[in-house]
Amino acid sequence: MTKDKAAPNACQAVPGEGMCHLAEGLQCFLYVTDRHFLVRVLSLDEETVCVTFPGKDYPVEGMRADMEFHDEGGYCYYATEVLRGPTPGEEGIVLRRPAEIKRSVHRTTCRIPTDLTVQIKDRDHVRRYNAALLNISAGGVLVETDAPFDFSTSIEMDLSLPGESLHTIPCQVVQIIPAAGAQENGMRQLCLKYADLPPDANLSISHYIWRRLQEMGASH
């Protein structure tokens, strides 16, 4: 196997796809046991990836682990699991080589905090979940909910802003953040990106953001 000579901690672009690829020497964040660790890829083959890890007695085999390669535009996300934890005489830990790559792009629009509530549902299911609308922008929203949605799930959000009509907006989960006390109450924060924002919904969101910016400016 030929070692990739690209600069460490750079997010590698796959031609024509805008995605990353794994390579020896790259640094990334490993999300495990509700914490982020800065690690480096030591080696990889068709089935496994070996990375550095500071722990001595964790993580253990079977634990969920997520790899995040960040760059200026966003980050590439790999969902995987631990195949071998820290072992005496062995360097690093071994992860299952992920079969799929996800890409999350950093937002370029300002987000306005709110204390509103929305309803969200998986597009393929009937059940709806209440979600606290923590903030909103022209590109997406941040909500807190106990809805068990996975990364990249396609959902529908019922959004009713003060003084505006009710809108049902297709969205996609682009980031999942464990909320405080998540293990006890199952709550998580979900970053939702609008998948196809209807013109009337776009206008309502723009009106609301403009009013809130004026209110926030007047309060200072």
How many angstroms separate the CA atoms of 197 and 30, rounded? 33
Distances (CA, A) of 15 to 10, 12, 73, 180: 15, 9, 16, 39
Query: pLDDT per residue over 77-109, tens digit each?
Result: 788 999 999 999 999 999 999 887 777 665 556
How many angstroms separate the CA atoms of 171 and 162, rounded? 21
How many angstroms separate the CA atoms of 203 and 220, rounded? 26
Of the pLDDT bands very low, low, confident and very high (cuts 50, 70, 90), residue 190 is very high
Pairing of strands 27-32, 35-44: antiparallel
Of the pLDDT bands very low, low, confident and very high (cuts 50, 70, 90), residue 134 is very high
Query: pLDDT per residue over 16-69, tens digit each?
Result: 333 456 889 998 888 887 777 889 999 999 999 999 999 888 899 999 998 888
Sign of the C-alpha dihedral computed for residues 127, 125, 198 and 106 taken in this order: positive
Per-residue pLDDT for 10 more than 50? Answer: no
Q: What is the pLDDT of residue 20?
A: 59
Are 174 and 191 within 8 A, CB to CB?
yes
Q: Nearest CA to 23 among 100, 97, 106?
A: 97
How many angstroms separate the CA atoms of 17 and 103, rounded? 10
Per-residue pLDDT for 114 more than 90? Answer: yes
Per-residue DSSP letter, 19: B
Of the pLDDT bands very low, low, confident and very high (cuts 50, 70, 90), residue 179 is low
Residue 161: count other Cβ atoms within 10 Å of its Cβ.
21
Per-residue pLDDT for 167 more than 80? Answer: yes
Give the chain's mean pLDDT.
82
Q: What is the pLDDT of residue 99?
A: 81
ω into 59 cis (within 30 of 0): yes
Per-residue pLDDT for 169 more than 90? Answer: yes
Per-residue pLDDT for 212 more than 80? Answer: yes
